[in-house]
Amino acid sequence: MDLIEVLPTLRMLRFPVGAAFLWRDGDELTLIDSGTADAAAEIEAVLDGALRRIVLTHWHEDHTGSAALLAARHGAEVVAHRLEAPVIRGEAVGAPPVLEEFEIPIRAGIPVLPPAPPCRVDREVEDGDVLEFGGGAVVVAVPGHTDGSIAVHLPGPGVLFTGDAVANVGRTVLGVFNTDRARAVDSLHRLAALDADTVVFGHGAPVVHGGAAALRAAAAATR
């Protein structure tokens, strides 16, 4: 795992596949996504405050893998969209992606990831709900990658967590491996309308300044 300071209050935990993020409010930490099931020890090694909550942007195993263990050990509240919650709890099976032709070799090159253990979801959220961190973190529904994918927008500090709705690999682009590309494109355009200077992604490098412009450019290039 690589630990990257994006902002004084925001650190990126970059794994071989995907990333998670730690947001600090004083002595309280919020973890956005939790890496794969083998990442818990590495995440715990960099916790330097009380882990108050874990926000899961969607159910995929590179985002939810360590959530159950971390939540149990630290008493953290687990937050996810109501459509993702049954899959995260192990009560339902998530829909597979509908791969574009160019995505097939990309998918084939990704190593098999350990399955995510079922995890409780303490708070099921909807579009527009506000979470108690970062001065008020707004849940933004971004369906398309999965039905209940969410982004999280912190209007005060101007930070946006996109989950896998968007990626930044060389340039900012629509995320891959979507269940519904048309809805994913609509979600990208929605995120591009938000005011965010710093944008961080489930896959790819953060955009520390000029994030909104990068999203607008990606949206303009994607139909």
- Over its length of 223 residues, how does the chain's per-residue pLDDT go in tens digits? 999 999 999 999 999 999 999 999 999 999 999 999 999 999 999 999 999 999 999 999 999 999 999 999 999 999 999 999 999 999 999 999 999 998 999 898 888 899 999 999 999 999 999 999 999 999 999 999 999 999 999 999 999 999 999 999 999 999 999 999 999 999 999 999 999 999 999 999 999 999 999 999 999 999 8
pTM of the model: 0.96
Indicate the fold that domain 2-113+121-221 takes in CATH: Metallo-beta-lactamase; Chain A (3.60.15)
Q: What is the pLDDT of residues 65-120, one digit of tens each?
A: 999 999 999 999 999 999 999 999 999 999 999 999 989 998 988 888 999 999 99
DSSP 52-115: EEEE-SS--HHHHTTHHHHHHHHT-EEEEETTTHHHHTTSS-PPPP---TTHHHHHHTSPPPPP
Task: Count CB-CB contacts under 10 A for residue 128.
Answer: 9
Per domain, the residue ranges of the chain are 2-113+121-221
